[in-house]
Amino acid sequence: MDVRDDRPSPGTPDLPRDPHGGEQSDGVSRRGFLTRGVAALAGMTSVAAALSPLRHLDRDDIPSIAEFFQKHYKEMTAEDKQEVFRRVQEAVKRHHGVDVELADPGPLAGVEFVYGLNLSRCIGCRKCVHACVKENNQSSAPEIEYIRVLEMEKGSIDVETANHHYPEKVVPDADKYYMPVQCHQCDNPPCVKVCPVEATWEEDDGITVIDYDWCIGCRYCEAACPYWARRFNFTEPAVAGPLNTDMAYLSNRPRPKGVVEKCTFCLHRTRVGRMPACLEVCPTGSRKFGNVLDPDSEVAYILRHKRVYVLKQDVGTLPRFFYYFDERGSRYHEPISEEVGS
Amino acid sequence: MKKYATFLYDCFRLSFVGDWRYQLWMTILTLFSLAGLYAYCQQFVHGLVTTGMTDQVSWGLYIANFTYLVGLAAAAAMLVIPVYIYRNLHLHDVVIFGELLAVSVIIMCLLFVMADLGRPDRFMHLFWRFNFPDSVLTWDVIALNGYLLLNLHICGYLVYCAYCGRRPSAVFYVPFVFVAIGWAITIHTVTAFLYVGLGGRPFWNSAIIAPRFLASAFAAGPAFIILTLQVVRRYSRHRVSDDALLALRRIVQVAMIINLFLLACEVFTEFYTDSAHVASARYLYFGLHGHDALVPWIWSAVGMNVVAALLLVLPASRGLRWLNAACVLSIVGIWIEKGMGLIVPAFVPTPLGEIVEYVPTLNEIVVCLGIWAFGLLLYTIFVRISVPVLAGEVTYENRLRKSGLGPIPGTTATS
Amino acid sequence: MVLGAFAVLLLLDPLRFASPVAAPDSVPDWATDPTPVRRPSESPEYRVGVFRYGCSDCHRIIPSASEGRELPIQHTEIRLEHGINTRCLNCHHPTNRDAFVADSGAEIPWNQPQLLCAKCHGPVYRDWQHGAHGRTNGYWDTSRGEQTRRRCIECHDPHKPPFPSMVAAPGPDTLRMGRQQVGDHAGQDNPLRVLRHPRVDGAYPRIDGAEDVLKEGP
């Protein structure tokens, strides 16, 4: 193949034949202009057609100017917060038809939360899962559940042996033990480390929170969590049943599409002194919650006297969630009552 | 300034000119790009539920393509090393194509990341609160955007100087080229570190990931350029010597052998130890508890890579037919191995032992094809512009001689 | 032209979104009900049909058999399955049936059942006192609200104490979950399985009852 040849050769694309030889002297011919105009119009039309699905966008999907410039929670002044809460409340009213009041309880002084879970007592009934869903206004379609109860094989602490999908059978199964897992509110949280925009952070009372209006939905935190505790809103969440109107900005207010959420130890309850919803509903009292800095608390007693351990300690997350066995762990040697209780 | 504006305008016009094959190629790419845009709009309206991703497998085809393309971008700068460090002058003429590939591929990477975000409307939050240096993602943002700017500058400067008819001044591009060499290694290492640093994913938490990334990138990238250069040679007047292609072949050959060696290291470590950490690797290569969707993929990839390596080692691949076959096998094999063979298995099983398999949806695939098409479109335009400009056929002076109103010089019979 | 045709095609919405999410199954109300499993009566009484008698109403007058687990005439529905505690009067006061009996023979009031259980279940009682056993509802911070410590018999039937089994609430059904094995698949990964086949020459220590305890396999 020859190069540097000015004569057009058939195979070279950068030298097309000029079909309108005579009209080029003034530069742009009318025909050329029309062709180009039609081409440009076709181009713009096809781009518009490609963009056409956007006509289905909801009003809330497009951020308003105020939302666009909304600050990170940690930078908000009290007035900013009022404004933001008002916006969120209005959106809740629009979507769910309910008037709500967003609380914003801060961490209590001298309090660090710790959660204990008694593996000798958990029977795997999954009531905690559903109480949490109801309390925290989680989506039912697609289903989001912060708590996952694992049916574990005796002899193994490895979650590889766990069954997540045991059926609605009579529990407890005599050969298994049950280990509910939720966000451990780690003291060295890998999710906080990896978030590129600091949308999630650990507060002074130990709870790792998320600013749902700051999260960009990259899901790096979801990939980083060793306990599979984080959930993502793949679409607009659909809450089944009535909304829980006792809401806080950082915990159970309805979340938008495209952001990550997780267990917050029910901070809208626990920061005003109440127990979290999962604990309230647990029929056997396997769940223990409180302030570890208070030496008289239940959790302090458990940590002092029980054989506690943490899950996946080797990953170095320093969780605030402890599992323990009672001294009386021998119930499995006896036949469990066949009768189903009320 | 006015000169720069006319330069851009001439580039714009030049990209529409070409024979029927060029127009057909561009039309196809445009159609795919528009389809991708349409599919993305569907995703923007409904959320990421239009993809096959789940809470269990929360990163899928988008991040897989992103990972692969960062490797391609890094390797594009590989061409620079032989030229500027080893003074291999065979490759001198083709360095620009590597740099241009880097630009278009980085843009594709950024588009894939944007497509993967749950809230792309909030991506400017990165500017307000940037979790540097804790989050490796922030390092990646800096690395990728810096690399883009670096290559844009180098290519733009060289092409613009040719357009203006003056010699490029070494101080404005040679230091940047050397920085780009180091930066290329960095972008891919940082992307590897995104995955390596996560203790909760034992499949990724291994020191071998970063070296494997680089090895496979340096096999796939130059392979891509070998194919591209042959297209450039065939359809334009730019001279590409066979020695350049053979130099690139040498790079792909060595990189592929290293890649296979590192694969063997990884496989041995996982399966000989046979600890609980092997679950993800077992899922990938053999299936786990009856779930085996990825098994045929990974074995095809390994097969392709092995065949490619053999071909490259044999003297038969000095001939273009076998070389092209080896390149295609490398590109596809490494795409599978790096995309589906690296990203997806780390999520199966989940950190709690659940197995949920990932199947990309049609919408997701169309978005990926759209971004690939758009990237190829950009690359075609870049090559389309730079060949005549660098050859001296399209310059500012030519333009002035035609009073700025004629058809673009170098594109018609008159000159 | 091609672009125009394609534009028309796109406007017809070929990739229209079909949601993979089905309407969720409703969750039964009991799954979110925090009421304890038992509601013991507030005062000592015996109910027969619609009639309610105070315990001492009869037992002031009627003597009762002090030994034996089986009751001949009344209270025949009570079956005592309290392990080795087979004697009614171990717990019930022999003369005042409105109360329970302490080790010394003194009365334990009806509304203090935990003092009764503590007679034998010392360690559990100690845990209960510190909140490590049993249910604590309400407020963890007692300075801000009331905390309710549930007493023993709100979970345990004193005549048949093992905590009753329940039916588990619905399991997870997350987005695009795919088919999941409902039965367990994990038997083969269990390190204890080696104990099911102890070597005959005695090289492995035999664990009595190991075969009974472990399931036969997946």
A46, C191: Cβ pair inside 8 Å?
no
Residue from A41, A275, A340 whose CB has the most chain C CBs within 10 Å, to mutate: A275
**Searching chain C, which residue's CA lies closest to the CA of residue A156?**
C190
pLDDT at residue B162, as a whole number: 86
Q: What is the mean pLDDT of chain B?
A: 88
User: What is the number of structural domains in chain B?
Assistant: 1
Say which CATH number the domain at B82 has.
1.20.1630.10
State the pLDDT confidence band at B413, using cuts at 50, 70 and 90: very low
pLDDT tens column, C13-59: 777 788 888 777 788 899 999 999 988 888 888 877 888 888 888 88
Q: Residues B45, B378: contact at Cβ < 8 Å?
A: no
B349, A220: Cβ pair inside 8 Å?
no
Q: What is the DSSP letter of C182?
A: S
User: Is residue B274 included in any domain, yes or no?
Assistant: yes
Residue from A228, A255, A260, A318 whose CB has the most chain B CBs within 10 Å, to mutate: A228
B137, A194: Cβ pair inside 8 Å?
yes
pLDDT at residue C69, as a whole number: 58
Please state the ipTM of this predicted complex.
0.90
A16, B134: Cβ pair inside 8 Å?
no
pLDDT at residue B1, as a whole number: 76
3-state secondary structure of C164: coil
pLDDT at residue A20, as a whole number: 39
User: Is residue B407 included in any domain, yes or no?
Assistant: no
Query: Among A100-109, B404-413, C80-89, C182-191, which stretch is predicted with the lowest mean pLDDT?
Result: B404-413
pLDDT at residue C108, as a whole number: 94
State the pLDDT confidence band at B139, using cuts at 50, 70 and 90: very high
pLDDT at residue A334, as a whole number: 52
- CATH tag for A113-325 (out of 3.30.390.30, 3.30.70.20, 3.60.9.10, 3.40.50.300): 3.30.70.20
pLDDT at residue C119, as a whole number: 94
pLDDT tens column, A97-156: 999 999 999 999 999 999 999 998 999 999 999 999 999 999 998 999 999 999 998 778
Residues C133 and A338: their CA atoms lie apart, in Å, by: 23
pLDDT tens column, B297-328: 999 999 999 999 999 999 988 888 999 999 99
pLDDT at residue A339, as a whole number: 52
A13, B22: Cβ pair inside 8 Å?
yes
Contacting subunits of C (3+ beta carbon pairs below 8 A):
A, B
Token pair 């109801």: residue: A134
Query: Among B268-272, C56-60, C175-179, which stretch is predicted with the lowest mean pLDDT?
Result: C56-60
pLDDT tens column, A120-134: 899 999 999 999 999
Q: Residues A284, C154: contact at Cβ < 8 Å?
A: no
pLDDT at residue B324, as a whole number: 94
Shortest CB distance from A24 goes to which of B131, B198, B407? B407
Q: Which domain holds residue B390?
A: 2-401
Please give the model's pTM, rounded to 2 decimal places.
Answer: 0.89
Alpha helices, DSSP H only, in C41-121? Answer: 55-59, 113-117
Query: Among A295-309, B244-258, C203-217, which stretch is predicted with the lowest mean pLDDT?
Result: C203-217
User: Is residue B206 included in any domain, yes or no?
Assistant: yes
Residue C1 has pLDDT above 80, yes or no: no
User: Is residue B32 included in any domain, yes or no?
Assistant: yes
Residues B134 and B147: their CA atoms lie apart, in Å, by: 21
Mean pLDDT for C151-158 is 92
pLDDT tens column, B19-40: 888 889 999 999 999 999 999 9
Residue C78 has which token pair?
Answer: 């009570």
CB atoms within 10 A of CB B88: 16
Amino acid letter, B185: I
pLDDT tens column, B335-385: 999 988 999 999 999 999 999 999 999 999 999 999 999 999 999 999 888
Shortest CB distance from B356 goes to which of C2, C16, C178? C178
In A, which residues are within 8 Å of C174 by CB distance? 142-145
In A, which residues are within 8 Å of C34 by CB distance? 131, 280-281
Contacting subunits of A (3+ beta carbon pairs below 8 A):
B, C
Mean pLDDT for B189-198 is 94
| Interface contact C179, partner B, CB < 8 A | no
In B, which residues are within 8 Å of A232 by CB distance? 48, 55, 58, 118
A198, B351: Cβ pair inside 8 Å?
no
Query: Among B4-13, B195-204, B315-324, C167-176, which stretch is predicted with the lowest mean pLDDT?
Result: B4-13
Angle at B177 between CA B176 and CA B182, to 5 degrees: 95
State the pLDDT confidence band at C116, using cuts at 50, 70 and 90: very high
Residue C211 has pLDDT above 90, yes or no: no
Bridge-based pairing state of the strands A307-309 and A148-153: unpaired
Query: Looking at per-residue confidence, does C211 or B52 come out higher?
Result: B52
Residues A120 and A323: their CA atoms lie apart, in Å, by: 10
A163, C185: Cβ pair inside 8 Å?
yes
Q: Which residues of B370-394 are buried (b: 16+ CB within 10 A; e: fewer)?
A: bbbbbbbbbbbbbbbbbbbbbbebb
Residue B84 has pLDDT above 80, yes or no: no
Could you write out the DSSP letters of every residue in B193-221? HHHHT-TT-TTT--TTHHHHHHHHHHHHH
State the pLDDT confidence band at B414, using cuts at 50, 70 and 90: very low
Kindly report the nearest CA distance between residue B276 and chain A, in angstroms: 8
